[in-house]
Chain A
Amino acid sequence: MIFDPTVILDKLPEIGSGLLVTLVLWIVGIVGGVVAGFVVASARRFGGMAINGVLGLVVEVLRGTPFLIQVFLLYYGGPFVGLMLDPIPCGLIGLTVYAAAYYSEVFRAGFAAVPPGHVEAAECLGMTRLQTIRRIQIPEMALIVLPPSVNLAVILLKESAVLSVITVPELTTVVSAIGSQQYAFLEAIFVLAVTYWVIVEATDRLGRLAERRLSRLRFSKA
């Protein structure tokens, strides 16, 4: 047996379309997860004990069960409650909800990291809660939540491979199919690993750059 990744690379257009699906899933998952996660974290912080309790339970369940099982439940269990989803929408929803649970925890820590006095100062000056969140709390927590957010983005990229089990035509699905057709399983897996790793590396660098920018912005002279 010869190790020959070119067998896989011959199928570049197909791989490209799989990569595109992965990137779309991933980016929508991050953006949706960040937005929903922030809303959940804010609701838990300001919405009173009942809302905090209910949302806390949902977040715990989502964090406490494997993503694979959540996806199976949504895809195969959905129809039992009238939720018929095609693979891609199902994958998008699944990944976004999963991301939201984790991002909500990142933002919860972010809110907790802003000294209460900074919020009281805003309150005393008559700023509304929304103004305080937007002008004080988000900018103050930005530097704190950035590293775990990038870390989470990287994890989400890799978790998106799980969506191959519900036949979402993303990178892992496409490349393993090519591997089967060509009898080149090892090559397929190798190409997959390298592709994911390259994206992760790029994301990490982007994250570090943003961190440096942000900390410079924050403490430089105007």
Chain B
Amino acid sequence: MSLPAIAIHSLVKRFGETTVLQDIDLEIPEGKVSCLIGPSGSGKSTLLRCLAFLEEPTSGMITIKGEALGFFENAGGKRERLPPAQIRTVRSKTGMVFQQFNLWPHMTALGNVAEALKTVRKVPKAEAEARAMAQLKKVGLENRAGHYPSQLSGGQQQRVAIARALALEPKIMLFDEPTSALDPELTGEVLNVMRDLAAEGMTMVVVTHEIGFAATVGQQISFLDHGRLLFSGPPTEIFAKPRHPRLDQFLDTYLDRGASMLA
């Protein structure tokens, strides 16, 4: 078994008195699609944000491709913060896609994708824009390069956001409910881009409410509830009956949101 893309050890996250994540142990396999599912408030988004180092774990360790993220344990077993440059290096292995897209409104689609190439990677403008254009092409938006985010649909904005993250050639892509802010008819185009990415062998961690996507594209499903990782495994195992009672309950409420009346 090769080194996991991400290894999470005894991760705890508290916001003040509230424990949001409790003792999470999880390995994200290389080159596979891992989906984090669970009810609202289960901590799945917080877990993903910890992987992007947007939240700092209260305790525990995260390693990305074997390298410590943010903190390391010194000889005395105490946690110490790594220097900012080191943190940036480890973080650069991941690309993040947000629920709310978070495109910069004062830049065109091309500008959004080229920005970090220019400022972070110091790629010359012309080359940065050529590479940005290639990424836009990949998500099928090369003809929207000159549009501002306000001129794009939600689905197009999210595809630009995916292109923006891909431009820096991350090894792992993190998706935080990438289709939750979209109209139902626009989720398909985003999920298709993600399917293409999965087919290329990209390591992906996806927090999602799209159970269909998780079941068909996901290769590892992890179910969180009340800040605990209840179980994790391949979808054939997880979704096969008899299911874990908590998952059954979750899927029931999922169907209750209108889908059950069609069944």
> Measured between C-beta atoms, what is the minimum distance from A6 to chain B in Å?
52
Q: Which of B92, B102, B146, B147: most chain A CB closer than 10 A?
A: B102
A139–B120 alpha-carbon span in the complex (Å): 18
Q: Mostly helix, strand, loop or mixed at chain A's interface?
A: helix
A135 touches B108 (CB 8 A): no
For B106, what are the chain A residues with a Cβ–Cβ distance below 8 Å? 139-140, 218
A218 touches B105 (CB 8 A): yes
| Top 10 A-B pairs, shortest CB-CB distance | A125-B116, A117-B102, A222-B146, A124-B96, A121-B102, A126-B120, A139-B106, A222-B108, A131-B119, A126-B88
Tell me if B153 is interfacial: C-beta within 8 Å of chain A: no
Size category of the B interface is 20 to 34
B120 touches A131 (CB 8 A): yes
Given A125-B116, A135-B119, A218 and B148 touching (CB < 8 A)?
A: yes
For B102, what are the chain A residues with a Cβ–Cβ distance below 8 Å? 115, 117-118, 120-121
Tell me if A60 is interfacial: C-beta within 8 Å of chain B: no
Count of chain A residues near B, Cβ 8 A? 21
Tell me if A20 is interfacial: C-beta within 8 Å of chain B: no
Tell me if B249 is interfacial: C-beta within 8 Å of chain A: no
Q: Which of A131, A220, A221, A222: most chain B CB closer than 10 A?
A: A222
Chain B, residues 105-146, CB within 8 Å of chain A (1/0): the string is 110101100011001100000000000000000000000001
B88 touches A221 (CB 8 A): no
A221 touches B104 (CB 8 A): no
6 inter-chain pairs at a CB distance below 8 angstroms, sorted by A residue, are: A121-B161, A122-B104, A124-B165, A127-B116, A135-B115, A218-B106
A residues within 8 Å of B by Cβ?
A: 115, 117-118, 120-127, 131, 135-136, 139-140, 218-222
For A118, what are the chain B residues with a Cβ–Cβ distance below 8 Å? 102, 104
A124 touches B54 (CB 8 A): yes
A31–B150 alpha-carbon span in the complex (Å): 32
The residue that B104 contacts in the complex, of A121, A123, A124, A220, with Cβ under 8 A, is A121
B120 touches A117 (CB 8 A): no
Question: Taking CB as reference atom, which chain B residue is nearest A138?
Answer: B106
Tell me if B91 is interfacial: C-beta within 8 Å of chain A: yes
Tell me if B52 is interfacial: C-beta within 8 Å of chain A: yes
B146 touches A124 (CB 8 A): no
For A121, what are the chain B residues with a Cβ–Cβ distance below 8 Å? 96, 98, 102-104, 161, 164
For A120, what are the chain B residues with a Cβ–Cβ distance below 8 Å? 54, 96, 98, 102
A127–B147 alpha-carbon span in the complex (Å): 23
Other contacts beyond A124-B52, A222-B111: 13, CB < 8 A: A115-B102, A120-B54, A121-B98, A121-B103, A124-B91, A124-B96, A125-B120, A126-B92, A126-B120, A127-B116, A139-B104, A218-B105, A219-B148
